Structure 1
Amino acid sequence: MTGVLFAGLCTLDVLQFVERYPADNEKVTALTQTVAAGGPATNAAATAAHLGGTATLLTAVGSHPLAAGIHADLAARGVHLIDLAAGDPGPPPVSSIVVSAGTGNRAVVSTNGATRTLTVPDLPALVRGQRAVQVDGHYPELAVAVLTEARRQGIPTLLDAGSWKPALPALLPLLDVVVCSADFRPPSAHDPAAVAGFLAGHGVRWIAVSQGPGPLLRWTGNGFATHPVPPADVVDTLGAGDVLHGALTLATARRRPLTDTTFATSLDEAAAIATRSCTSFGTRTWMSDVDRHGAT
């Protein structure tokens, strides 16, 4: 089994699937609902485990009763959870998510857990044997520590760059792969080429930009190569980026050493899996048995 390590945010996601968004002061009845652990690193870890990897998640959950739902979901998905805030009695971050049946779009209200104090474990032993490490930029001190140790051990490092965070400059020199969303905008970088140049200037070797249903843009050093995203009947886009990153991290781990060719192949594989995740409601429904071990 291929070991992959994820470090970052974990939330409790409460998802409601509605015919249409409610207006102000209006109550609507959901068509269906689901509850699952969420957050970029968490959904990526669940994806990697589903695809046959041995996924370990470093995060903060705590001892509040709401944490039981997180523990149950991750246990069911085969994710090894290491709770770095196990003694914290406060509630975990909760995301309230409403998904429109008509468009697949969603509205999200959430907290990010930034105030939590984490106890960093013995990283050399934990990182040893992993084939790739991904962080999501939450809990920056943890991310720096994990990436530094992975670099020391020669393990590929990846970042899920969903949005710009002030702490990211400290992470970038420690990263091999950065895949960022179209919303990721470092200071003074206002288009994908400028974003790629910014990341490359900080030492990142393999870079791509995701564009939702549009093609992935893979930076070649002189411009972009495009990777089309497979078409799909979209039901819900929630977590698709997290799925992309989880599948990419596992594919990277399985195709070491990391090269331009293996990065390109891994991007295509991850894009196909992320697209499949958009064809059903929620972040877990797509994980049917027929998909298990789908990565190569």
Structure 2
Amino acid sequence: MSRVLLAGLCTLDVLQLVERYPADNEKVTALAQTVAAGGPATNAAATVAHLGGSAVLLTAVGRHPLAAGIHADLAQLGVHLSDLSADDPGAPPVSSIVVSAGTGNRAVVSTNGAARTLTVPDLAPLLAGAAAVQVDGHYPELATAVLTEARRRGIPTVLDAGSWKPVIPQLLPLLDVVVCSADFRPPGVAGGPPVAAYLSAHGVGWIAVSRGAEPLLRWTPGGFVAQPVPRPAVLDTLGAGDILHGALTLAVARRWPLTDAAFAEALDEAAAVASRSCAFFGTRAWMSASPAANPAADPAADPAAGA
């Protein structure tokens, strides 16, 4: 079983599915509601565990009563939680999310945990046996320490680059794989090939751009190569990028060291998982509806899965 360490944000997500967004001072009744642990690293960890990997989540949760929901969700999923703020009495970051049933679009109001100060732990036992690590750029000191130690140990490193963060320039030399959203923009750098060239110039070996329902763009020495993604009926896109990164990190762990063909396969597997999740409301329903119909869900389909 491939062991993956994921470091970053953990929130408590409260999701409401509505026929339409309410107007000012209007109340609407939700069609459905769900509550789950959220955040980029957390949703990625949930995905790793669901797909048969051993997921270790390094984050900050605390001992506020609201943290009980986070602990219960992660325990049910089989995610091993290492809480760096276990004695903090403050509430965990909470995201309030309204999803439009008609479009799959959402409105989000949240906090990002920036107010919490974390002490980086001894990473040796946490990284022992790890086949890959992923960070999301939240808690910069933690991300830097995890990537530095992983690089020292020869463990492949992955960044969920959903948006630009000030810490990213110091992380780039420590990264093997970066999959960024189309909105990811280094200061002064235009989108498209200039972003990939920027990442490559800073030492990143494997680069791709995710664009929702549009084909993934995989960077090669000859430029971008488009990889189509499945296009399911979309109910909710929340967390799809996080799920993509979780599935990709596990696929990288199972295939390391990468070749261009192996990276392309890993991207295809991850895209299949993320696309499937968009057909369900919330970030968990896709896991229990039926077995995931892709090779990443079946370790026996991957000869490196047991590594």
1:139-186, Cα deviation, whole Å (9 max, x unpaired): 010001000110011000000000000111010000000000011010
SS at match of 2:291: helix
- Over the matched positions of the two proteins, sequence identity in percent amounts to 76
Distance apart, 1:291 and its partner CA: 2.5
Give the Cα–Cα distance (whole angstroms) in 1 for the partners of residues 188 and 261 of structure 2: 30
- Which residue identity lines up with residue 136 of structure 1 in the other structure? D
- Which residue identity lines up with residue 180 of structure 1 in the other structure? C
- Which residue identity lines up with residue 63 of structure 2 in the other structure? S
Preserved CA contact (<8 Å) 2:22 2:28: yes
| Equivalent residues, number | 296
Mapping of residues 230-245 of structure 1, within 5 Å: 230-245=230-245
Aligned to 2:117: 117
**Structure 2 gap ranges (5+):** 303-307
1:87-146, Cα deviation, whole Å (9 max, x unpaired): 110000000000000000000000000111112221122112100000000001000100
The answer as to 2:297 corresponding to 1:294 is: yes
**Structure 1 gap ranges (5+):** none
- Which residue identity lines up with residue 294 of structure 1 in the other structure? A
Distance apart, 1:191 and its partner CA: 1.5
SS at match of 2:55: strand
Single out whichever of 222-231 and 3-12 deviates more from structure 2. Answer: 222-231
Distance apart, 1:207 and its partner CA: 0.3
Give the Cα–Cα distance (whole angstroms) in 2 for the partners of residues 254 and 230 of structure 1: 22
Mapping of residues 1-296 of structure 1, within 5 Å: 1-288=1-288, 290-291=291-292, 294-295=297-298, 296=302
Preserved CA contact (<8 Å) 1:133 1:150: yes
SS at match of 1:33: strand
Alignment root-mean-square deviation, CA = 1.0
Give the Cα–Cα distance (whole angstroms) in 2 for the partners of residues 52 and 140 of structure 1: 28
TM-score (norm 1): 0.98
SS at match of 1:34: strand
1:43-73, Cα deviation, whole Å (9 max, x unpaired): 0000000000000000000010000000000
TM-score (norm 2): 0.95
